[in-house]
Chains A and B, each alone.
Chain A
Amino acid sequence: MGLMGLLNKGSVYAERLPGASIVMAPVNWGIDNAQAYSMWYMLFGLACCAIELMATGSSRYDFDRLGMFYRASPRQSDVMLIAGTVTLKMAPRVKMLYEQMSEPRFVVAMGGCASNGGPFYYDSYSVLKGVDKIIPVDVYIAGCPPRPEALLQGCLAVQKKVRTYKLGQPRGAAIRIGQEANASRLALDNLVPPRAFDDLQILDIRGQKHE
């Protein structure tokens, strides 16, 4: 969202004034939290994972409590949830939509397909082997499809990134939400208050450990 970008940029400039850090620390805290709790995502479903995305958005799991709700336009969105299979035909469109989003923007690759091609990694001529081939991905979520709990955990991971991200700074390494999160309801327990994510089990889509 444009407003978020302005807020972010303003604080970067203000910090350069003498003594500003005393004032800016609480302001930044406020801005970071405001941003983290207003992640509007682009309504964008590509395949079966989108069904799980809809389930997560509905009242049982409820994106709204994270301040997330969907926008129909990339220009108003902060987060792009790639929910589903990205085909080679779709890839240029996905990239174009990503480019239309304004900074700060975050991308979640939901499910095996978006992460690395998933079930279509082998023997498929038409599926892009991971959306990270065309746009930078901040959070990967394993699963086919990931459970809503895993998706929520992924969104919390994005929140964590939003809090620490400063415009113009390099963004941190991608966070991977493993299959552990799918199997348990751990993610729900994590919802309030947000906890550290450093103890997350990091697994790739085939259940192997990442460094």
Chain B
Amino acid sequence: MNRDEFIKAANQAMPDLHAKADTANPDAIVVNSADLHGLCLWMRDDPAAQLTYFEFVTAQDWPDRDEIVLVYSLYSHPLGHRLMVKTALPRRDPQIETVSDIWEGANWSEREVYDLFGVTFSRHPDLRRIMMFDGWEGYPLRKDYTHPNLIHRPE
């Protein structure tokens, strides 16, 4: 399945999903954050999709749009196709449902996004920092992050 077939199949299976094609990435689709968990469940179990392998989740910080965009990368070993799913969250208190109950492998990836971007994954079994140590303040990969240890390279 390519991306457009995906969008069609998903929108057919879930009428109020309104998945859209992403303008930047030819492999990516965009959905609302509230629909993500249901979509993921469908994508794993649908016989034509079979996205059984969770590659990673990462995030982008867009201070000017006041958004944090999560990017999920999924792969199907049986069918050999790939899909990326993007979903935008508000920058202030970003929250989304975990997909670690769908793919076990999402557990640490989500912890990483939580650690570095401050996205809270609800229902996550073990949401702790993973790179930085406990007690670290702030989310280092946000664009407006500062730290006393951070010295900017002089121009």
The chain A residues found within 8 Å of chain B, CB to CB, are 88-89, 121-127, 129
Contacts and interface: CB of A to CB of B under 8 A. Distances in A.
B32 to A, nearest CB: 33
A129 B132 contact: no
Interface of B: 132-133, 140, 145, 147, 149-153
A89 B149 CA distance: 13
Contacts of B132: 89, 126
B18 to A, nearest CB: 39
B154 to A, nearest CB: 8
A126 B132 CA distance: 8
B152 A125 contact: no
B149 A123 contact: no
A121 B151 contact: yes
A125 B153 contact: no
Nearest to B133: A89
6 contacts: A89-B132, A121-B151, A123-B151, A123-B152, A124-B149, A125-B145
Given A89-B132, A89-B133, A126 B152 contact: no
A122 B145 CA distance: 15
B149 A125 contact: yes
Contacts of A124: 149-150
Contact of A88 (B145, B149, B151): B149
Given A121-B151, A123-B152, 10 more contacts: A88-B133, A89-B133, A122-B152, A123-B151, A124-B149, A125-B147, A125-B149, A125-B150, A129-B149, A129-B151
A121 B149 CA distance: 9
